[in-house]
Structure 1
């Protein structure tokens, strides 16, 4: 049984694609940019959006920051709540807490939004700490995970696991030296799982819980 679980947020704890996709579309349209081929959930849900705007869209830093500012106009007020906890997530977190397992959120979503989402959808009472980047930051998933692992301290070694849905969660776990469970109900693709294999795979919330406690 793992004692410490670092959960990704989007695609692992919550189904957040609607608000993110709509808010990116809002930003692109406000800039007069085409949305064609730019709103695939596999592209924009998971990694830091600034990295997507720079590396995938190919925007200059100034243009990427303008798009991010427009995205935030909608996301910070409306989009972050176009969201829901996946079925079974909150009861699972409650059972883990009752077993003495410490749950955390390690997300690429800005921490201020992650905290509001966790409070809104009943996740906050069951997580000990929420870590995410500052708004507009280029922090990697590993950077965020290290903040949680530093908080836990040396006892994390051999007792902590990452749970996420994208290759970025696997890469972050590899960089921080902890095992990773990849979930199949989120936004990752089969190609990602082949390219960056996790230690464990859970197709459902129930399977995720069983892997954590066994």
Structure 2
């Protein structure tokens, strides 16, 4: 069946948002008394839910993890989310997909209201029919995508998940979408995406136009 519904990850797929995310982690570590980590280590935290990342760092201290998440989100909402911009070629690709009558959605592990405010601030909201993210009821990429499919009334066999990390590919597979598309301009790499079982890899946003027709 022909693809009609395209679900995009946000960080590392639509937006180059690493500066704001890394600065938010650095601020949180200072506030929480955690040793600072290298940029390479911090980059591995871009993509997974904050609950997963801080649970790992907390070594079983749930109260520490919860406070760290609140601290991170406070900084990110005030400053971090302003330090982002769309990748080269993204805007043109989204505009072309809209003209071709595809339904475009965001499915992100980022907190849903933050993702909505971020895209509104960057004047990108108008490209998407729905912006879905992390909520108390849906915090993993698999659950976020399931919610996105359900609320948008999109059938999996006419849908694709597009993202830069293994979580995006696995989320697509677990929701039985028609295609999972890994992007190589984000925070994951070719090995990670191939090992996750991505159906297709692309190196530039405009390649998406070639493979979905």
CA RMSD of aligned residues (A): 1.8
**Deviation for aligned residue 1:67:** 0.9
Question: 2: CA distance between counterparts of 1:72 and 1:137?
Answer: 18
**Deviation for aligned residue 1:41:** 4.2
In the other structure, the counterpart of 1:128 is 129
In the other structure, the counterpart of 2:163 is 164
Question: 2: CA distance between counterparts of 1:62 and 1:44?
Answer: 20
Deviates more, 1:49-58 or 1:22-31: 49-58
Matches within 5 A, 1:58-207: 58-134=59-135, 139-153=139-153, 156-178=155-177, 179-207=179-207
Question: 1: CA distance between counterparts of 2:10 and 2:111?
Answer: 11
Matched position secondary structure for 2:16: coil
Question: 1: CA distance between counterparts of 2:76 and 2:144?
Answer: 21
What is the TM-score of this pair, normalised by structure 1?
0.92
Question: 1: CA distance between counterparts of 2:196 and 2:128?
Answer: 27
Matched position secondary structure for 2:160: strand
Question: 2: CA distance between counterparts of 1:122 and 1:19?
Answer: 18
Gaps in structure 2 of 5+ consecutive residues: none
**Deviation for aligned residue 1:207:** 1.1
In the other structure, the counterpart of 2:31 is 30
- Deviation track 1:5-52 (CA, whole Å, cap 9, x = no partner) reads 000000000001110110011011111110135862442110101101
Q: Count matched residues.
A: 211
Deviates more, 1:64-73 or 1:105-114: 64-73
Distance 1:158 1:12, change over 3 A: same
Matched position secondary structure for 2:15: coil
Contact 2:11–2:46 (Cα < 8 Å) also in 1? yes
Matched position secondary structure for 1:44: coil
Question: 2: CA distance between counterparts of 1:57 and 1:210?
Answer: 44
Gaps in structure 1 of 5+ consecutive residues: none
**Deviation for aligned residue 1:138:** 6.9
